[in-house]
Structure 1
Amino acid sequence: MFKFNSLSNKLTIIACFLIAVILIVVNVINYYQSKESTSYYLEEIQKKTMYDVNEAYKIYSNSKRTAIASIVKFVERNPNADTMEIFDALSTIKESAGFDVVYLGFESNGKLYQSNRIIRSPEDTGFDARTRSWYQEAKAAGKLVVSDPYKSIEDGSVTLSYTAPIYKNNKLLAVVGGDYNLNTFSKDVLALGHSESSYAGVYDKDGVVIFHEDKEKVL
């Protein structure tokens, strides 16, 4: 007959109790270790995602800079290129680099040539490229300039402009520029950080949204 107050039974109960306590402690330790490991791996995944997005942005940005530089070299070598040659060069760079539009404004007469084969001039349209902010900024900087993101007055899209001055014999000949829609960047690059429970975004030092999957949140 089982006797609860027997020494062996007491020892058995104590042993069972200790085993239960040990199992609970081991499970608690395993839980927190697993939690820490999960947090660590999630953090590493987030870091890797940020690195990938950053590298992708560098590739995008460098491709745009290289494209603008190619127009600079073209005009330097062909300062007297005819209208069709200019249009062909601009449209080629637009398509190859993914710009929305590429344009070239001349210092001598203020004419603007666009990749969509439109010419704007002070005489015909009252438009003078030399008075535009993108032209003056590139001229003042004396090198390639990348604008801060801004909303286009034409369609409201958030845009970056890449502009660069062109010199011939140390004299300003023209300024070339290209506009790039940041919504395209968001779709192509920020997708790297998208999952069911996360997304990637780019913010400036003041917390303003520069790139986001939701275009309504940009700026």
Structure 2
Amino acid sequence: MKSVKLKVSLIANLIAVVCLIILGVVTFMFVKQAIFHEVVKAETNYVKTAKNSMESFKARNSLALESLAKSILKHPVEQLDNQDALMHYVGKDLKNFRDAGRFLAVYIAQPNGELVVSDPDSDAKNLDFGTYGKADNYDARTREYYIEAVKTNKLYITPSYIDVTTNLPCFTYSIPLYKDGKFIGVLAVDILAADLQAEFENLPGRTFVFDEENKVFVSTDKALLQKGYDISAIANLAKTKEDLEPFEYTRPKDGNERFAVCTKVSGIYTACVGEPIEQIEAPVYKIHLYKLRLLFLQVLLASSSFIS
């Protein structure tokens, strides 16, 4: 009789252990899915935050340039249609605008390719503004900011480039100026990404933004700002995905499997977050380890019950 009881107890405890194991596996699967969803949600929110920062940066600078253009065009055409007039009536405004917005340079590129400009060079000469052009082997009419602003007849933003003076990522925002049907020139402002970078350094996640040429110009990870850093793997895949659609990719330089979420920004930039797969899965396996410990404890308790 005692032997039968022992066998029944053994079977009951074995069933209990098996049930606990099955319950642990099922629970892990559900918990894994829930936690992974929350991690992806957090990473997606990081991208949204980066997108908002970039859109605010673009909107702020676009509005500033458009406001300056409106102010300049309040002058009668005779105060705008030649270099002497621009220097006399507008030159000081370029300097004031540049100082107020902490811009790298502000200038008007005239139809002959000459500039009236306030920039670090004019600062070095202790002048509010100066001129730049043919004598310096420079013709604004050959530059992208000028060509595209005239061609599109609206505000144009260049892809990011490295400013030779500061060695920092920079953009040129430009807009054509017309007064009484006459083309006055192209108003442009050079804007460093330094303030935007400072903002990004306080953002969560490994987020970054790149332009149409796949050049990263702002990132929470400064390594991505290094010259020649290759993001083609993630950039090319991002073009095939919907906004905020998670995907995985392999980084060519080290074969590292990575997770990413990207979204278009203002139609010309792409914001992404990119993390190693193991970093995304870490919270899942941390919970799994905790569950395994609980399961082991439950099995021990069940076993001790059998022994007693």
1:96 to 1:48, Cα distance in 2 relative to 1, 3 A: farther
Does the alignment pair 1:106 with 2:110? yes
Alignment counterpart, residue 18 of structure 1, candidates 15, 27, 38: 15
Instruction: Specify the SS of the correspondent of 1:77.
Output: coil
Alignment counterpart, residue 218 of structure 2, candidates 207, 211, 217: 211
Unaligned runs of 5+ in 1: none
Percent sequence identity is 20
The equivalences for 1:96-175 within 5 A come to: 96-107=100-111, 110-114=114-118, 116=123, 117-122=128-133, 127-175=138-186
Unaligned runs of 5+ in 2: 80-84, 230-308
Looking at structure 2, the residues matched to 50 and 179 of structure 1 have their Cα atoms a distance apart, in angstroms, of 26
The equivalences for 1:188-207 within 5 A come to: 188-189=199-200, 191-194=202-205, 199-204=206-211, 207=214
Looking at structure 2, the residues matched to 106 and 218 of structure 1 have their Cα atoms a distance apart, in angstroms, of 34
| Equivalent residue, structure 1, for 2:4 | 7
Q: CA deviation at 1:113?
A: 2.2
Mean CA deviation greater in 124-133 or 184-193: 124-133
| Equivalent residue, structure 2, for 1:51 | 48
How many residue pairs were aligned? 212
| Equivalent residue, structure 1, for 2:93 | 89
Counterpart amino acid of residue 201 in structure 1: F
Mean CA deviation greater in 54-63 or 154-163: 154-163
Asked whether the equivalents of residues 164 and 175 of structure 1 are also in contact (C-alpha less than 8 Å), the reply is: yes
Question: Structure 1, residues 91-111: CA drift from partner, whole Å, max 9, x if none?
Answer: 343344442222223336824
Instruction: Specify the SS of the correspondent of 2:226.
Output: helix
Does the alignment pair 1:67 with 2:67? no
Question: Structure 1, residues 22-46: CA drift from partner, whole Å, max 9, x if none?
Answer: 1122222222322222111010011
Counterpart amino acid of residue 119 in structure 1: G
Q: CA deviation at 1:12?
A: 1.1
Looking at structure 1, the residues matched to 228 and 172 of structure 2 have their Cα atoms a distance apart, in angstroms, of 16
Mean CA deviation greater in 183-192 or 162-171: 183-192
Looking at structure 2, the residues matched to 96 and 32 of structure 1 have their Cα atoms a distance apart, in angstroms, of 57
Q: CA deviation at 1:205?
A: 6.1
Q: CA deviation at 1:89?
A: 2.7
Counterpart amino acid of residue 78 in structure 1: H
Q: CA deviation at 1:64?
A: 0.7
1:28 to 1:98, Cα distance in 2 relative to 1, 3 A: farther
> Normalization by structure 1: what TM-score?
0.81
Asked whether the equivalents of residues 72 and 176 of structure 1 are also in contact (C-alpha less than 8 Å), the reply is: yes
Alignment counterpart, residue 30 of structure 1, candidates 27, 35, 42: 27
1:23 to 1:122, Cα distance in 2 relative to 1, 3 A: closer
Q: CA deviation at 1:210?
A: 3.9
Question: Structure 1, residues 128-176: CA drift from partner, whole Å, max 9, x if none?
Answer: 5445442233222211110011122333322111001110012111211
Counterpart amino acid of residue 158 in structure 1: P
1:109 to 1:180, Cα distance in 2 relative to 1, 3 A: closer
Counterpart amino acid of residue 167 in structure 2: G
1:131 to 1:17, Cα distance in 2 relative to 1, 3 A: closer
Q: Which has the higher contact order (CA 8 A, sep 6+)?
A: 2
Asked whether the equivalents of residues 108 and 185 of structure 2 are also in contact (C-alpha less than 8 Å), the reply is: yes
Instruction: Specify the SS of the correspondent of 2:203.
Output: helix
Looking at structure 2, the residues matched to 124 and 90 of structure 1 have their Cα atoms a distance apart, in angstroms, of 22
